Structure 1
Amino acid sequence: MTATTPTTLPVTALTTGLAERLPGLRALYEDLHAHPELSFQEVRTAGVVAGLLREQGWEVTEGVGGTGVVGVLTGLAGGDGPVVLLRADMDALPVEEKTGLPYASTATAVDRDGNQVPVMHACGHDVHVTCLLGATAQLAAHREHWNGTVVAVFQPAEEVGGAGVMIEDGFLDRFPRADVCLAQHVMPAPVGFVATRPGPLMSASDSLRVRLYGRGGHGSAPELTVDPVVMAAAVVMRLQTVVSREVAGTQTAVVTVGSIQAGTKENIIPETAELLVNIRSTTPAVREKVLAAVERVIRAEAAASGAPKDPEITCLPSFPVTVNDPETTAVVSTVLGEALGEAMVVTLPQPFTGSEDFGLFGTALGVPSVMWHFGGTDPALFQDIGPDDVLENGLPASIPTNHSPHYAPVPDPTIRFGVTTLLTAAEHWLR
């Protein structure tokens, strides 16, 4: 089945007038893309969000969890209704953009380690912000057509656990308590497709900072040293066996070493090496097993190398498994299928190995939450490639994925679909 994109969408009370709003949303998206900000540094983005929400008529609170913004609005259709939380994340990544777009980022910032780094919206959070602001504009313009209350959450620092920081900042007591939490994430699939599943949707994520200790010296006399670079290389290679040889083929786990830092010169053996390790898992048992194996390998390789000091293993921010409430997911899949066409809404056979912190809102509130993924890639790139092919064999190597320096969702019609999916899902509870 060749990937196709619906050319029209049904116009509802909440989507009336969206077409006229799209040029402004496109300009907003390009501006956000050109001005990305790292986690907890989203000052400019938060200012843009807060200003637009106020113009639309929302009650706005800034500085939630650092740079988070929350808007609250109640419908005017008469009668009480539920509280619906809609969430978008705002932060970008330390990636140098290579898309070649006219609005490509040239921004830099200081990261959490004090390094000056390039910054890019390589995960599509600029799309999320744009789509939610489009949805809030439509909700404000058509308040007479819906009941209940919407809490629009513009979250900082999704990449490092900003949802938890917002909750710690009193989110549960400061804003109306939601009855349902909804969120979406753009993905490298054809525009018009939506993918979700009941139960576990995205993996747990654990990150570690590992410092290996050696004994430095001259590169010409390695026998007088304990080389932490070689030690680090041994750790990296041995870690690859954790998944391939200790996790069953029926289970899911990923171990990635995303950074190695050691040394300053080619003929100096340094004192230390530092690794950044990321682990993904979909069940508590696999998570516990993999974490234990990773630590065992690190310590064993250090001992085998004759390290003068035990490694230091520091836990960085972690995310739990993102779990969709089954009944609420069925509702969302049904209403999106009715709007987009049933063939455009795909039920995933297994969780993504990516991770999210959105589920913390529903867990903290004790209410159902649902996240779905929606396509943001030109369907022409998927000629003769159907959803079943992608689910079975993965994406073609020619299509950039999230976190790639080449990742760039097509604004049109991705924004239109992203706004529509948010409004369509929310409207079920706000009728």
Structure 2
Amino acid sequence: MAEANRRGFLQVTGAALAAGAWAAPATANAAEDGPIPIGFIGPGGMGMNHVRLLAQNKEVRIAWVCDVDANRLKAAADHVEQAAGTRPQTTGDLRRILDDRAVQAVWIATPDHWHAPATILACQAGKHVYVEKPCSHNLREGRLMIEAGKQHGRVIQVGTQSRSTEGIRKGIARLREGVIGEVLVAKAWNSQRRGTIGKQQPSSPPEFLDFDTWLGPAPAVPYRSNLLPGVWRWWHEFGAGDMGNDGVHDIDIARWGLGVEVHPTRIAAMGGKYVFDDDQQFPDTQTVLFEYQNLPGPHSRKQLIFEQRIWSPYVQEGFENGCAFYGTDGLMLLGKTGRYQIFGRRNKLIEEATWGGPDLAAHHRNFLGGIRTGEVQNADVSINHVSTALCHLGNIATRVGRALEFDPAKEMFVGDDEAGRMLKRTYREHWGAPRESV
């Protein structure tokens, strides 16, 4: 039986989670005093947001920075030196960090196709891991990450920082208290205005980029200028579309509020490229419906809905990206940017709260607490795997264009070989390729 099935339903009392995420014990090499030496892998985009916070955090010392882009590598090292007073060692090969026995933890903010390979290698090297979302490039990788963390006794936190944000935790607690009755349907949406990535022909990579190392264990493809940085998200071999990029944050909150800790049993989806005529391979327009069956309690069936329109200049129900929870006695609207509203019968506003948006620093504190004391991780990989799986399942259903039956325990589609092949990926011969035995 999959780990998600064994954990049961998440319970919340007040703003605290009393929850079945697995927590690694505090390890012998976790320093009780002094900063924890860490390595940072992938300091570009969201990665630099982490670097800026960590360089000021007295709980850690950034000992290494790694990037295959020499310009980004230098910029990150310069920032750490200026902010912390000590220049970290630099490398374009993450194995040098993993070989340093003094390093106790790594932050991984690489493109998605490196998330699982780097995490598994780090666990094997005895490092704790903070890895950006989505935790995996494909569903099977998520299960391998969970197994690696358990086998090697490592903490793995995933970068869905809403799980550590007090306002969101309070909103979920109110749902658990029954403020809108039993939540039977949750909806998440990703509605924002993005631009086209255009059409480009293969070309030579710039001199400052080690493109072969960037590819890692993914199948080799030629470089093109609309592949990176950032736009790799829209290519099947490297990303999970915007459903796995921005969408996974709201999907994770929606699943959390819906109170389901298992995979869905049925998935139906429609979508495609309705607006952008470019090289992007993932949908710009997408609607996915997940159905959960045989749940414990008085209501054995629930739904989770995801809507995506990444060409829209309009907010939806007050939020560009948000969630709605439909209960037997009311409705909650919640946006991770810092607000929720609760409506009772006849649309009466009965409660609202605001906060300052996602709390990245709190998420860091939770991860470091896991290393030092075995503190339960708010977004442990076993939690995020179930949310990230929804992105993979939704994208697969959209690609094949038909409803799919899914076995949550076996993590396999029922009677659909074409869809089943998309639950894994083919790796090229490479030192970073995950193995089934980790």
What is the TM-score of this pair, normalised by structure 1?
0.29
What is the TM-score of this pair, normalised by structure 2?
0.28
Which of 1 and 2 has greater Rg?
1
Bigger fraction of residues in helix: 1
